[in-house]
């Protein structure tokens, strides 16, 4: 009997969720940050969606958000012409980096010492976080606003995307190595370090390119306009979401559509696999994040597969089982942080 996908709904945002990112796996699990047009990026426990805190300080829509590898720092990009760096443990704002236009994207180096930013002023900036008073290094060359910028090749190179062009830059010389033009607007870009794979979406196309040469590897066509796609860490399959409110799961090798799910009530703007590959998160125009199981029916996080007694004659049905302490834990987190930047606890629903 086929198991039914039951996503966890993470509410709390009041406007569309436009970006999300997972940390690496830490001794405390992994974490998830979301960027939203309400100007209030949120931090959550990655495997359950439990709310941890809200970073307060931006005065405009937040377009991009990221965590460093060990989830000790967060960075956000916003329409108030700033990027901010935060202590992700305490929630304190560490620095505000002023820009001349809307900032759309932020990314830490692996050692968390440098921050890459990009936005509507068409410039890439590299900030030395150990010298916040120093002027950033600037890379020019884009001809329209930058949508996404990522470190790659162990921080030796940079990948960036504007409206219809993806560019590869050398960090040491600050020069362009190669660029690729597309006939449609590039809606998202994901970098996979293992194998140096670049995942791009434009129109209905999900395309895979070499991150080293930008040469195409393969591409798939989806039934609707796709806004975001993510490749599973083991490169077995990928997920994608877009304008038809659906999430699609494809076999990476064959391109065959394996599953599709509808749960959001608006277009999907962002989707990413967790670092362990057990789930993927989606953010939508409807103001929610949803967490979906990669293998439906597996006991993981807040999902618990409850099998009936053998002699009952009933078919196995997946159920969502919440730990008895879940409510207590959320109340404890809220009370612990009541004096800090954290606001009331959004709920996580099955």
Q: What is the pLDDT of residue 305?
A: 79
Is the pLDDT assigned to residue 319 strictly greater than 50? no
Taking all residues of the chain, what is their mean pLDDT, rounded to a whole number?
A: 89
Is the pLDDT assigned to residue 334 strictly greater than 50? no
Q: What is the pLDDT of residue 264?
A: 95
* Residue range 184-208, pLDDT digits in tens: 999 999 999 999 999 999 999 999 9
Please state the pTM of the whole predicted model.
Answer: 0.87
The pLDDT-based confidence of 341 (bands split at 50, 70, 90) is very low
Mean pLDDT of 330-346: 41
Report the percentage of the chain scoring pLDDT > 70: 87
Query: Which domains, ranges and CATH numbers included, belong to the chain?
Result: 8-293 (2.130.10.10)
Residue-wise burial string across 148-166, b where 16 or more C-beta atoms lie within 10 A, e elsewhere: bbbbbbebebbbbbbeebb
Mean pLDDT of 29-54: 97
Closest CA to 37 of 56, 55, 13, 9: 13
Q: Residue 52: which residues within 8 A CB-CB, separation 6 or more? A: 31, 42, 43, 44, 45, 333, 342
Closest CA to 289 of 31, 3, 2: 31
Find the range with the poorest average confidence among 59-63, 166-170, 293-297, 311-315.
311-315
* Residue range 284-305, pLDDT digits in tens: 999 999 999 999 889 999 998 7
Q: What is the pLDDT of residue 337?
A: 42
DSSP state of 285: T
Is the pLDDT assigned to residue 329 strictly greater than 50? no
The pLDDT-based confidence of 1 (bands split at 50, 70, 90) is low
Mean pLDDT of 45-51: 96
Q: What is the pLDDT of residue 316?
A: 40
Report the percentage of the chain scoring pLDDT > 90: 83
Find the range with the poorest average confidence among 119-123, 157-161, 259-263, 338-342.
338-342
Q: What is the pLDDT of residue 304?
A: 87
Q: How far apart are CA 70 and CA 87, in angstroms?
A: 12
Count of CB atoms situated within 10 Å of the CB of 345: 18
Please give the span between the terminal C-alpha atoms of the chain, in angstroms, as a whole number. Answer: 21
Q: What is the pLDDT of residue 159?
A: 97
Q: Between the CA of residue 281 and those of 104, 168, 314, what are the distances in Å?
A: 20, 27, 32
Q: What is the pLDDT of residue 323?
A: 41
Per DSSP, the residues of 183-197 read SS-EEEEEEETTTTE
At residue 9, φ and ψ (nearest 5 deg) are -100, 125
Q: Residue 336: which residues within 8 A CB-CB, separation 6 or more? A: none
* Residue range 142-180, pLDDT digits in tens: 999 999 999 999 999 999 999 999 999 999 999 999 999
Q: Residue 310: which residues within 8 A CB-CB, separation 6 or more? A: none
Is the pLDDT assigned to residue 338 strictly greater than 70? no
* Residue range 120-140, pLDDT digits in tens: 999 999 999 999 889 999 999
Is the pLDDT assigned to residue 335 strictly greater than 60? no
């Amino acid at each position: 009997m086929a198991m039914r996908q039951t996503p966890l709904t993470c509410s709390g945002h009041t406007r569309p969720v436009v970006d999300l990112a997972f940390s690496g796996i830490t001794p405390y699990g992994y974490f998830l940050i979301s960027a939203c047009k309400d100007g209030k990026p949120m931090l959550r426990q990655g495997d359950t969606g439990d709310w941890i805190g809200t970073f307060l300080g931006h005065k405009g829509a937040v377009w991009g958000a990221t965590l460093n590898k060990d989830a000790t720092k967060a960075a956000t990009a916003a329409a108030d012409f700033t990027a901010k760096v935060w202590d992700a443990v305490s929630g304190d704002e560490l620095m505000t980096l002023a820009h001349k236009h809307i900032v759309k994207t932020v990314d830490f180096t692996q050692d968390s010492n440098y921050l890459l930013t990009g936005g509507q002023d068409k410039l890439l900036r590299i900030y030395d976080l150990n010298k916040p008073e120093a002027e950033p290094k600037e890379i020019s060359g884009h001809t329209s606003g930058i949508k996404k910028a990522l470190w790659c090749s162990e921080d030796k190179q940079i990948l960036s995307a504007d409206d219809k062009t993806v560019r590869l830059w050398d960090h040491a010389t600050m020069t362009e190595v190669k660029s690729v033009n597309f006939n449609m607007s590039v809606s998202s870009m994901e970098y996979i370090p293992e194998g140096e794979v670049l995942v791009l979406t434009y129109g209905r196309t999900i395309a895979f390119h070499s991150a080293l040469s930008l040469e195409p590897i393969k591409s798939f066509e989806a039934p609707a306009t796709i806004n975001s796609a993510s490749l599973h860490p083991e490169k077995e399959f990928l997920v994608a979401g877009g304008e038809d409110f659906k999430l699609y799961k494809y076999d990476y090798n064959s391109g065959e559509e394996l599953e599709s799910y509808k749960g959001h009530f608006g277009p999907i703007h962002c989707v990413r696999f967790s670092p362990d590959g057990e789930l993927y998160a989606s953010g939508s125009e409807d103001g929610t994040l949803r967490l979906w199981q990669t293998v439906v029916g597996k006991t993981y996080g807040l999902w618990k597969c409850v099998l009936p007694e053998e002699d009952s004659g009933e078919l196995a049905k997946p159920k969502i089982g919440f730990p008895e302490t879940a409510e207590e834990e959320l109340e404890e987190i809220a009370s612990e942080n009541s004096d800090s930047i954290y606001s009331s606890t959004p709920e996580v629903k099955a």
